[in-house]
Chains A and B, each alone.
Chain A
Amino acid sequence: MTALVELSGIGRRFTRKLDVAAKILNLLGGSYREQVVHAVDGVDLSISAGEVLALVGESGCGKSTLGRIVAGILPSSSGTMSFRGRDVAALAGTDRLAWVRSIQMVFQDPMTSLNPRKSVFEAISEAPVYHRIFSRAEAPAKVARLLSNVGLDPQFANRMPHELSGGQRQRVAIAQALAVKPEVLVCDEATSALDVSIQAQILNMFLELKEEFGLTYLFISHNLGAVRHVADRVVIMYLGQVVEVAPADDLFATPHHPYTRALLLEAPRLERRRRFEPIRGEIPSPLDPPSGCYFHPRCPMATDRCRTERPILRETGGDRVAACHYAEMVSPPDALAPSSEAPEPGHMKPGRAPLSAEAPRSE
């Protein structure tokens, strides 16, 4: 597999500047410091052409920030990123534009992902007409085609965003992205604001579109269970850092990081009674991360070594990496769970069969 997108040492800091009051107090002897959040901290990652890479972690761990960096919406503050082997920082003019267009993003909140003042037709046709991918005269036919690709009736072209449901808006947002012929789609919790039944429909649609348009996905979710059916590989993030990367099947069967294991136990699964085992402890503030292993205050396996020595991301066999001193000793998620169930056919292999046969238009 060729790496389509390659990140190396990518970081992103956000600085909260001091306000005037704090500056004045500082003159009088106060000690207010600018606060720096390392939203993303030294991430190495490669996305291969044609794969579905899931990015999972609790809210606030930097998933959206990383997704925006990959999509070229947000500049990184350190590290390098390459697209098709070329450093994107060195791209200019049409090369840069080609890269920006090649990676499209589908956002979480369907209420703000569309311009409220543009009709569906305008939303979808604006960029491709601007880039001369198709002409204004061709636009009606092209838009109708894109709408049917995302499971909407071509009549939707005349609607305004406020006349659409959340699921319909997300479909329009996807059609808008597809219109500029992207290679990579970054889906940032694109279904989590939607009704559960509609989530499954949109997920199915992503898989169908993947085949039809030859897409590569970076699939962001806070719910490990939700990516089970779609992901080829999974990246687990904690406090801005990657803590584990593994092929999906392996990761679900034998996590190599206690945090992954905790996420697996926490993930709500439709097929079994919700047996909630929340990860204990609070998420530490990214402003002031813990010493040693960032996960140690919440880790059931933590030792003195974990409190002082930061584990590095290391190979743990079988195409996998994990950042834990005791990666080899992490037990499978079902070892503790008495009510483990027989593996159901659908979930081990990301089989491309639709999750449900329902027609997607009925929302």
Chain B
Amino acid sequence: MTAAPDITRPPRLRRFAADFVRSPIAVVGLVIFVTLCIMAALAPLISPQNPYDMMTLNLMDSRLRPGEVGSAGYVHLLGTDDQGRDIWSAIVYGLRISLGVGLGAGGIAAVIGTSVGIFAAFRGGMVETVLMRLVDFQLSFPAILVALIMLAVLGPGVDKVIFALVIAQWAYFARTARSAALVESRRDYIAGAHSLGLGQWRIIFGHLLPNSVPAVMVIAAIQVANAILLEATLSFLGMGLPVTEPSLGMVISNGFQHILSGRYWMTIYPGIALVLLVLSLNLIGDRLRELLDPRKVL
């Protein structure tokens, strides 16, 4: 405990990064995720057509196999669908929407859930009991059911899907943030902050929140993956996004009608993209959990 201070120790973040990359599988996950993000960001640059601009579609090109050349003169790497839409382009644009909805919903759920959880831990008493009962109640239903009910009530639309996903997921963040904040609030520096006369908002935002964020980050990666999957499921069921915002789930759903006629590419390739996206987030999340596990001796 009284060892000489190790001044040469690198800052937390760099040490954390160094620890992270020691797991090859997590690095693979990170590389896949970053690649998919870049693809989504650069969608117009790396896809030969805008698959939802009806002007660029040509029915002549419909149901081309992967590798065939279409009427516009370029190769359809992953084939086309029944409307002549380039599958590769549909995947890249679909990624964009799936990622946007997943990150958006996960991010909003994280902010709301974390605030509720930390506030509950800080206030204790009735406030905590009521909020956590609400969380327990919510968590007793499967997220997909909550989302389906919300959408049945709200109707379709990107904002409504995000809203439904936030409603389905905030409670996970609230529970995690509360237990992390409870652990922190028992530490002496929090008692010290009270004793120094700092106000409650200062203690919550300046002390409890920054120290509870690591625990929230762990589930954030997994919950973003879950949000993407939920959205894909909803779209597949035809309950999600409008046709004008085709996510991966909808691309898969469109292609699914043709799988029995042997046109596997319309659904397998977008399926692979979805699996890679969700898997990479889970790999990252697992590694974060390993590194940030409170029981781990730092």
Which residues of A come within 8 Å of B, CB atoms?
Answer: 68, 71-73, 97, 100-101, 103-105, 107-117, 126-127, 130-131, 160, 162-168, 173, 176-177, 180, 193-195, 198, 363
**Chain A: which residue is nearest B213 at the CB level?**
A117
The contact sample of 9 A-B pairs, CB cut-off 8 A, is A103-B195, A112-B188, A115-B189, A115-B211, A116-B211, A163-B7, A166-B1, A198-B2, A363-B2
Most A CB atoms within 10 A — which of B192, B194, B202?
B192
B9 touches A163 (CB 8 A): yes
B197 touches A100 (CB 8 A): yes
Map CB proximity to A onto B182-225 as digits: 1 under 8 Å, 0 otherwise. 00000111011111111100100011001100000000000000
Given contacts A180-B196, A180-B197, contact A110 B1 (CB under 8 A): yes
Given contacts A110-B1, A117-B211, A166-B1, contact A101 B197 (CB under 8 A): yes
B198 touches A165 (CB 8 A): no
Minimum CB–CB distance for B18 against chain A, Å:
15
Cβ of B6 under 8 Å from chain A:
yes
**Chain B: which residue is nearest A116 at the CB level?**
B211
A71 to B193, CA, bound (A): 12
Interchain Cβ contacts within 8 Å, total number? 85
B198 touches A130 (CB 8 A): yes
A341 to B206, CA, bound (A): 54
Cβ of B3 under 8 Å from chain A:
yes
A113 to B189, CA, bound (A): 5
Interface of A is mostly: loop
Give the chain A neighbours of B206 by CB distance below 8 A: 126
Give the chain A neighbours of B192 by CB distance below 8 A: 105, 107, 113, 173, 176-177
Q: Name B191's contact: one of A107, A163, A176 (CB within 8 Å).
A: A107
A168 to B3, CA, bound (A): 11
Cβ of B12 under 8 Å from chain A:
yes
Give the chain B neighbours of A72 by CB distance below 8 A: 194-195
A126 touches B2 (CB 8 A): no
Give the chain B neighbours of A100 by CB distance below 8 A: 194-195, 197
Give the chain B neighbours of A108 by CB distance below 8 A: 188
Cβ of B17 under 8 Å from chain A:
no
Minimum CB–CB distance for A67 against chain B, Å:
10
A73 touches B195 (CB 8 A): yes
Map CB proximity to A onto B241-270 as digits: 1 under 8 Å, 0 otherwise. 000000000000000000000000000000
Minimum CB–CB distance for A192 against chain B, Å:
11
